Every structure is written in C-alpha cells, then in structure tokens.
Amino acid sequence: MMLSGNFSRTEFKCQCNNCDYDTVDSELIQVLQGLRDYYLTPIKITSGNRCPVHNTRVGGSANSYHIRGRAADIQVKGVDPRVVQDYLLDLYPDKFGIGCYESFTHIDTRTKKGRWNG
C-alpha cells in the first residue's frame, strides 16, 4: 500500500520478521516525501517502525519514536547524511528529532526539538 508518491507501508515495517508492526505517522510521511521531492533521488528507510523486542535488540531507547511509528533512519542516495541533517535543520529549526550518524540520518516527529550527532 502506497502512503505517498514514493513511500509504501512495507518500507516502514519492523525488521524483526516476527511481528506485523508497520504503523507510520502521517506527518513523518509528509516530511520524507518533501525530502524526496527536494533531492529528486531515492530514499532508503534503513529502520522504520520497531516492535519493542526488536527495538531492545538494536539498542533503541525504551521511549523510542520508532516504536510509535514516528521515526525513520534514512539514507538519501548520493547525499551525505550530514548534508541531509543540515537541510532538515534549516527546514525544521524548532521541532522534530534530527540526528546524524556516519551512514544515515534520523528524523522523528516529536513535538519538541531534539538534536544530536552519533
């Protein structure tokens, strides 16, 4: 099932292969579709929704937005994660969780601002 022009529900499904967690926040989809439209290149969801068991296995926090379907770790094809983070920071200076790691960028739709580099 397509959630937007470029993203399907299956891309956000928990990767544990033992559950049916695939909830996705509509605001997160809007943010990601906007990012896709800006860069005009594919975006890979490396981690979307996580069931609590899988979240623990991968070292996620107990209150992770991934558990609620409100977070995604992404790779924008051909774009450095720091560049993606900088673009998101400019676009959303006062809201969302935006983190940068060596191989991916994290975005979540928390109501307060959260920033970090991993």
Range 72-82 average pLDDT: 98
58 conformational bin, left if phi > 0, alpha if psi -120 to 50, beta if neither? alpha
The tokens for 55 are: 């979240």
Give the count of alpha carbons within 13 A of 92, CB side only. 24
Domain that holds residue 26: 9-117
List, for residues 5-41, the tens digit of each pLDDT value. Answer: 999 999 999 999 999 899 999 999 999 999 999 999 9
Q: What are phi and psi of 113, to 5 degrees?
A: -75, 135
What was the pLDDT predicted at 88?
A: 98
* CATH number assigned to the domain comprising residue 15: 3.30.1380.10
Q: Is the pLDDT of residue 118 over 90?
A: no
Quick check: is 49 in a domain? yes
